Amino acid sequence: MLAFLIRRLLLLIPVLLGGTGVVFVLIQLAPGDPIDVLMGVYSSPEARAALREKYGLNDPAHVQYVRWLWAVLQGDWGTSIQQRVPVLPLVIEKFWITLLLTGAAALFATVLGVVAGVVSAVRQNTWIDRLVLVVSVFALSMPAYWLGLLFIFVFSVQLGWLPTGGLRSFIAEKTTLDVIEHMIMPGIVAGLTPAAIIARVARTAMLEVMRLDFMTALRAKGLSEGAVILRHALRNAAPTIVSMTGLQIGYLILGAALFVEIIFSWPGLGLEIYKSVIGRDMPMMLGLVLFSTCVFVLLNLVVDIIYRIINPRVRDS
C-alpha cells in the first residue's frame, strides 16, 4: 500500500508540470492582452508598458513559466491581474464554496443513482427498470445550463419559491437555511447527470454480480432477498460503483459545476475559471489550473485507495 501511495504521488509531479505547461503555452498563444482587459484599449502606452513590466509580461514565455513555477514552490501563487489580490487564498476560498455545492450535488447524485441502479437491477426487465433506463437517458441528454434556466423560470420567476442565484441573500441574516435555499436548485441541476451515470453503472455492476453462482449459495443459507442484495450483491458491486462515483465527483467539481455556477451565479471555482479565461488573467488561470488538477488527481488517488480497501482481490493479492 505504501509503495502504491508513493508511486502515485510521484506520478503527480509530471501530470502537474505537464498540465500547467500546456495551459501556459495555450495562454501565450491566445489572442487578446490582459492589459487591454484591465486598462481598456485606449490607455496610454506608457501606463501599459509600466503595467507589463510590473507583471513581467515582457519576458520570454519559458522565463515567465519557470519564474512562476519557482514562486509557486515557495508558496507565492502570484497576484490576480483582474482582482489584484493574491491567487492562492482566493482560489482556496472559492474551492470551499464550490465544494459546498458539489458536495450537496454529489450526495444527491450518489444516493439517487445507487438506489435507482440497484432497484432497476433487482427488477430487471420490468416497467421500473425500463423507466430508470429511459429517465437516465433523458437526464444524460439534459443540458445543465438549460435545465438551470428552466428551474429559475419556474421556481424563482413564476412560483417565487427559491432565490435565482448567488450564495446567500444580500439583505437577509446570514443563516444556514438561507444558504441551503440557495443550494437546492444548483445542487439538483449539477447532480442530475452524475446521478444518471451512477445509476447506469450501478445497474450494470449489480447485474454482473447477481448472475454469479454464490447468489444461489446465499439463498441456500436461508438469507432473505434483502440481505442477499444489500449485504452481498451491493457489497460486491461496490468497488465498481465507488470508482465511477469518484470520477463523476471529480468531473462535477471541476467541470459540470462550471455551467451551473455561471447560471446560478454561484461564486465558486467554475465562475472564477470563466472570469479568468474571459479576462485573460494569466496568474489566476494558472493558479486555478494547478489547484484544480491537484484536486482532480488527489481525488482520483483517494478513490483508488478506497477501491483497494474495499476490494480484497486487489488488496491482498
Partner 1 sequence: MSTAEAVELLRVEGLRTHFFTRHGVAKAVDGVDFSLAKGERLGLVGESGSGKSVTALSIMRLVRDPPGRIVGGRILFEGQDLLALDEAAMRRLRGSRLSMIFQDPIAYLDPVMRVGDWIAETLMLHRGLGRKPALTEALRILRLLKVPSPEEVVHAYPFQLSGGMCQRVLIATAIATEPALVIADEATSALDVTVQASILKTLTELTETLGTALLLTTHNMLVVRKACSRVMVMYAGRVVESCATDNLFQAPLHPYTIGLLNSVPALESIGQPLVPMAGEPPLPTDTLPGCAFYARCPLRQSRCQVERPPLQEVRPGRWSACFFAEQAGRMRHAAG
Partner 2 sequence: MAVTPEIAPVERPVWRPWALMTRHKSIAAGSAIVLLVVLMALLAPVLSPYDPNEVHPLDRLKPIGSPGYLLGADQQGRDMLTRLMWGARSSLAIAVLPLSISAIIGLALGAIAGYLGRLSETLIMRGMDVVFGLPPILLAIAVSATLGPGLVNLMLSLTIVLIPPMTRVTYQVVVGLKEQAFVEAARAAGASSFQIIFSQILPNSLAPTIAYAASLAGAMVVFGAGISFIGLGIQPPDPDWGRMINDGREVLDLKPHVSTLPGLAIFVLAAGFNFLGDGVRDLLDPRMRQ
Interacting stretch for partner 1, rule CB under 8 A, among 134-142, 173-181, 215-223, 247-255? 215-223
Q: Whose CA is closest to 38, among 20, 30, 27, 50?
A: 50
CA dist 186 → 55, 235, 257 (Å):
36, 31, 9
Q: 47 or 157, CB closer to partner 2?
A: 157
Distance, CA of 229 to CA of 235 (rounded, Å): 8
- Give backbone dihedrals phi and psi of 7, rounded to 5 degrees, phi first: -60, -45
Q: 173 or 213, CB closer to partner 1?
A: 213
Q: 62 or 219, CB closer to partner 1?
A: 219
Distance, CA of 202 to CA of 205 (rounded, Å): 5
Instruction: For residue 71, state whether it binds partner 1 (rule: CB under 8 A).
Output: no
Interacting stretch for partner 1, rule CB under 8 A, among 6-14, 112-120, 254-262, 304-312? 304-312
CB under 5 to 8 A by kind: which of partner 2, partner 1, none does 221 bind?
A: partner 1
Which grid cell sits at 17?
A: 508540470
Q: Whose CA is closest to 72, among 289, 260, 268, 271?
A: 289
Instruction: For residue 9, state whether it binds partner 2 (rule: CB under 8 A).
Output: no
Interacting stretch for partner 1, rule CB under 8 A, among 56-64, 104-112, 208-216, 297-305? 208-216
Q: 7 or 313, CB closer to partner 1?
A: 313
Q: 32 or 312, CB closer to partner 2?
A: 32
Which grid cell sits at 125?
A: 426487465
How many residues sit close enough to partner 1 to count as binding (CB under 8 A)?
21
Residue from 188, 285, 287, 303 binding partner 2 (CB under 8 A): 285
Instruction: For residue 10, state whether it binds partner 2 (rule: CB under 8 A).
Output: no
Distance, CA of 118 to CA of 199 (rounded, Å): 8
Which grid cell sits at 212?
A: 454469479
How many CB atoms lie under 10 A from the CB of residue 121?
24
Length of the chain: 317
Which grid cell sits at 107?
A: 450526495
Q: Whose CA is closest to 265, among 143, 164, 161?
A: 164
* Site of interaction with partner 2 (CB under 8 A): 11, 14-19, 22-23, 26-27, 29-31, 124-125, 137-138, 140-147, 149-150, 152-153, 157, 204, 207, 250-251, 254-256, 258-259, 262, 273-274, 277-278, 285, 288-289, 292-293, 296-297
Question: Can you give the binding site for partner 1, defined by CB under 8 A?
Answer: 212-214, 216-224, 232, 235-236, 310-313, 316-317
